[in-house]
């Protein structure tokens, strides 16, 4: 089994100390480092603690030696692409976590920054948490099995205001949506 704690921790922008502090009960950065490198045994209890601190499923912390994972091999910076000192596993949107459901939307017609063939991965939020999604692209269900998609620009009481991505389109308002899904990742085929 291959331990993926470091890859997921870095994908979430956390340091060893951040993760150690987020564990319940808190532990030390040194302990997390030893668990990441395999110098300390990654027991089921540790997997549960670390997964809870990272807000991911415990099984995403390990993978089989037989199943090759996609790799991050370079970083594009100001001076062009540079090789990483050490390859890292690419962390898929389904592994980055959260308790809320993850969903995807396919783009059939280009609009705004989205192109035909793109896929937008979204995380479902309770409407009471809509403030987290202000100025982010969201998918909001409407009556009759339809949706609005665009930039969340306003939330007042039960009303949610959305600005569609196309040019010249008017703001749309949804009253009391059952959920709001905030865009987390764009997948664009080349």
DSSP letter at 23 equals: S
26-66 pLDDT, tens digit each: 999 999 999 999 899 899 999 999 999 998 888 888 876 66
Distance CA 77, CA 75 (A): 6
pLDDT at 84: 78
pLDDT at residue 98 in the model: 63
Domain co-membership, 135 together with 158: yes
Q: Which structural domain range is residue 135 located in?
A: 100-187
Query: Does residue 85 surpass a pLDDT of 70?
Result: yes
* Pair 87, 142 in one domain: no
- CA–CA dist 160, 169 (Å, integer): 16
Is the per-residue pLDDT at 93 higher than 70?
no
DSSP 114-168: B-TT-EEEEEEE-GGGGGGGTTSEEEEE-GGG-EEEEEEEEEETTEEEEE-SSTT
Shared domain check, 62 and 21 = yes
Work out the mean pLDDT of the chain and round it to a whole number.
Answer: 85
Quote the number of domains for the chain.
2
Look up the CATH number of the domain holding residue 70: 1.10.260.40
Instruction: Based on the fold, state whether residues 134 and 81 are members of the same structural domain.
Output: no
Considering only 32-41, 73-82, 178-187, which range has the smallest mean pLDDT? 73-82
Both tokens assigned to 92? 């898929």
Give me the phi and psi of 61, to 5 degrees please: -80, -15
Domain holding 161: CATH number?
2.10.109.10
The residue-averaged pLDDT of 67-85 equals 78
Would you state the pLDDT for residue 95?
65
**Confidence check: pLDDT of 73 > 70:** yes
């Amino acid at each position: 089994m291959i331990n993926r704690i470091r890859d997921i921790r870095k994908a979430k922008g956390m340091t060893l100390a951040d993760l150690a502090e987020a564990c319940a009960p808190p532990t030390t950065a040194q302990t997390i480092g030893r668990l990441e490198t395999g110098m300390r045994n990654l027991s089921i209890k540790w997997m549960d603690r670390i997964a809870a601190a990272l807000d991911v499923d415990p099984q995403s912390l390990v993978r089989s030696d037989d199943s090759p994972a996609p790799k991050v091999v370079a970083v594009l910076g100001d001076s062009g692409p540079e090789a990483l000192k050490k390859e890292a596993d690419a962390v898929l949107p389904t592994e980055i976590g959260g308790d809320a459901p993850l969903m995807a939307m396919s783009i059939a017609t280009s609009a705004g920054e989205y192109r035909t063939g793109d896929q937008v991965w979204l995380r479902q939020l309770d409407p009471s948490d809509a403030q987290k999604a202000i100025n982010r692209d969201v998918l909001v269900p409407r009556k009759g099995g339809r949706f609005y998609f665009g930039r969340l620009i306003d939330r007042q009481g039960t009303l949610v205001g959305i600005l569609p991505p196309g040019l010249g389109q008017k703001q749309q308002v949804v009253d009391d949506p059952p959920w709001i899904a905030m865009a987390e990742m764009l997948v664009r085929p080349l």
